[in-house]
Structure 1
Amino acid sequence: MDTMYITHPASHLHEMGALHPDSPKRIDAISDQLIMSGLMPYIDNCHSSLRASDEDILRVHTMDYLNYLRNHIPKKGSYHTIDMDTIMNSYTLDAAFYAAGAGLLAIDSVFNKQVNNAFCATRPPGHHACSNRAMGSCFFNNIAIAAKYAISRYNLKRLVIVDFDVHHGNGTEEIFANDSSVLMCSFFQHPFYPDTELICSQNMCNIPVKAYADGSFIRNIVTSRWVPSIKLYRPELILISAGFDAHIEDDMGQLNLNESDYKWITDVLVDMAEKYSSSRIVSFLEGGYDFSSLGRSAVMHMRSLARL
């Protein structure tokens, strides 16, 4: 099988209150749609990820920050609120270590030629987490941890991070600004959360778009801005921050994409990976809060990864 689906039971134990949009049910929505679509028999289904080590985390985050999280693990049945969007329960840090570890398992799997690509459906998400700060429901920056691991373990010189979440992947941008080993390409609604300024850096192709931009507008950005940058860069690996909250049915944002747009974007990236990175892609779940559109979009994303 050419595509791996990675999740972990710890993702269900991390929760931030009954009304918080980043619910454990998001993982169920994806797995349910994978089963209903008939796709599950055609992918390598892995329900046990590695647990990241402190060394893996500290390639990206500071020791002071890791110690802060450890010192604020709440007791059973209680919460520690970092900000209004970012809340810890007693299982959160454990889930975060396994979410980061899913990316490491995926990296090893694609470089050991077990699969061409992988989708990590874990929580908490990661792309808002900065080197020394949790925010936006993110504690560890999973995609950055995977990128640093791949560079260290497999001596990579060039990798691409693509982020199509409706929100700016500010943490990933902060971590890799001016790092020539990483090219980051993204679009995101602006002005919108997290309202952070773009970092001016030659290795960033991050494009703010206005509310209500539709799929044709986004496809033009991919074709005219992302693709030429990626072709010139010739990455050895493509990583994806796969947020599905730019979907027209998702009330968390105001962009007007649909599941066919996510498939089209993924098709473009799969084509690029086949040309430049021996088909190697690792994708990470970020946003997506309307269960129905999340599940349908993730299925289309995985159909494209699996070439089905």
Structure 2
Amino acid sequence: MTSTAFISHRDCYLHDMGSYHPESPARLSAISDHLIAQGLEAYFVHHEAPLATLEQLARVHPAAHLEHLKRKSPQLGIVHLDPDTAMCPHTWQAALRSAGAGIEAVDLVMRGEVENAFCAVRPPGHHAERENAMGFCFFNNIAVAAAHALAAHGLERVAIVDFDVHHGNGTEDAFRNDPRVLMTSIFQHPFFPYCGADSHADNMLNVPLPAGADSEQFRAVVSEQWLPRLRQFRPQMVLISAGFDAHGEDEMGNMRLTEKDFAWVTDEVRRIAKETAQGRIVSMLEGGYSLSSLARSVAAHLRALADL
């Protein structure tokens, strides 16, 4: 068994973009309820997410973006930044917790207190560009965590693995052509946010997959493209944008993965991390909107992280 931190915060439940929005507080409740029902809660080291500081966020997002979001934060009701992305009075605090969870996870892993960590947080982050909130995302949580690993802990090579059904355009925007960061991703294409397939940056291994892509296609990409590139890069830490909306039961996308695929890819990433990064992994929740498949997939991911 591996020591695995589980990081979350009650503030992440308070962010609410409306009763019919798929990115809802029920996502975290479904995960928590399933872990309890499966008897998994006791296997993890539980931590509360701190608030990210503006200084930590500024490694990725310019001050003008942070000030804009702070100004938009409502005292009452819901304010839409775009048709998909909205703020309620609790969103700013929840977004600070979500980014702070990744920072806490990096610190715990780098101090050797745990081997890896999973951040059960919302709002998600991988669509948030340097200067633009979008796609349910406000701050790019995984990018903030990676930037913290580089700046605060002096790492020279960090890999980001993204298996969300949507391309992590914000993460690419943060690190395009940064040789310290390798991003490997799959995503349905053509599909929101309608980019990523034509990236020419040397440090971006983006592999678009068609609607209907299944386990065999996904595993072939990981085995034949991701893993050789990751081994060549020799990361000192691996961060995972853990989106589970490529599951076949998730109506947000049109891919056909199962929870077994998420467990398998987690095992493969752990193998790389053990080879080159002392096992250091920080995983952060991104998408996943069918509550049942989300909960089962997170549990499978956590079992693999913790070697249960």
TM-score bin (small chain): over 0.9
After TM superposition, the structure 1 = structure 2 runs for residues 144-159 of structure 1, keeping only pairs within 5 Å, are 144-159=143-158
Q: CA deviation at 1:38?
A: 1.3
1:209 aligns with 2:209: yes
The SS at the match of 2:256 is: coil
Query: Which aligned pairs between 1:9-158 and structure 2 lie closer than 5 A?
Result: 9-46=10-47, 48-76=48-76, 78-158=77-157
Unaligned runs of 5+ in 2: none
Q: Which amino acid counterpart does residue 225 of structure 2 have in structure 1?
A: R
Aligned alpha-carbon RMSD (Å): 0.8
Mapped partners of 1:289, 1:2: distance in 2: 28
Q: 1:103, 1:282 within 8 Å by CA — same for their partners in 2?
A: yes
Note the residue ranges of structure 1 that are not aligned, 5 or more in a row: none
Secondary structure of the residue aligned to 1:136 is coil
Report Cα offsets for 1:268-306 as digits up to 9, x if no partner.
Answer: 001111111000000000000000000000000000000
TM-superposed deviation, 1:89: 0.4
Q: Check whether the contact 2:158–2:182 (CA below 8 A) recurs between aligned residues.
A: yes
Q: Is contact 2:199-2:206 (8 Å) kept?
A: no
Q: Look up the equivalent residue of 2:232 and give its one-letter code.
A: L
Q: Are 1:240 and 2:240 matched, yes or no?
A: yes
CA distance in 2, matches of 1:79, 1:36: 34
Q: 2:268 — aligned with what?
A: 268
Rounded to whole Å, the distance in 1 between the matches of 2:167 and 2:202 is: 17
Q: How does 1:160-239 map to 2 (within 5 A)?
A: 160-197=159-196, 198-239=198-239
CA contact (8 A) 1:159 1:181 kept: yes
Which residue pairs with 2:8 in the alignment? 7
Checking the alignment, whether the CA contact within 8 Å between 2:79 and 2:88 is kept in structure 1 is yes
Fraction of identical pairs, as percent:
49
Letter in 1 for 2:290: D
Q: Displacement, 1:98?
A: 0.7
Q: Which amino acid aligns with 1:291?
A: L
For 1:70 and 1:248, locate their aligned partners in 2 and report how far apart those are by CA, in whole Å.
37
**Contact conserved, 1:240 with 1:284, CA < 8 A, in 2?**
yes
Runs of 4+ in 1 over 3 A off after TM superposition: none
Alpha-carbon contact 1:174-1:199 (below 8 Å) kept: no
User: Deviation string for 1:66-110 (max 9, x for gaps)?
Assistant: 11011111122x111011110000110110001000011100100
- Give CA deviations for 1:27-64 in whole Å, capped at 9, x if unaligned: 01111111111111111122x21111000011000111
CA contact under 8 A between 1:73 and 1:89: conserved in structure 2?
yes
Q: Find the aligned partners of 1:98 and 1:57 in 2 and give their Cα distance.
A: 12
Cα deviation per residue 1:5-48 (whole Å; 9 max; x = unaligned)?
111011111010000000001001111111111111111122x2
**Match for 1:43: what amino acid?**
F
Contact 1:177 1:199 in 2 (8 A): no
What secondary structure sits across from 2:183 in the alignment?
strand
Distance across 1 between alignment mates of 2:229 and 2:29: 36
C-alpha separation in 2, matches of 1:118 and 1:294 = 18
Give secondary structure in 1 for the equivalent of 2:208. Answer: strand
Structure-1-length-normalised TM-score: 0.98
**CA deviation after TM superposition for structure 1 residue 199, in Å:** 2.6
Contact 1:128 1:141 (8 Å CA) reproduced: yes
Shift of 1:196: 2.3
| Rounded Cα–Cα distance in structure 1 between residues aligned with 2:45 and 2:70 | 33
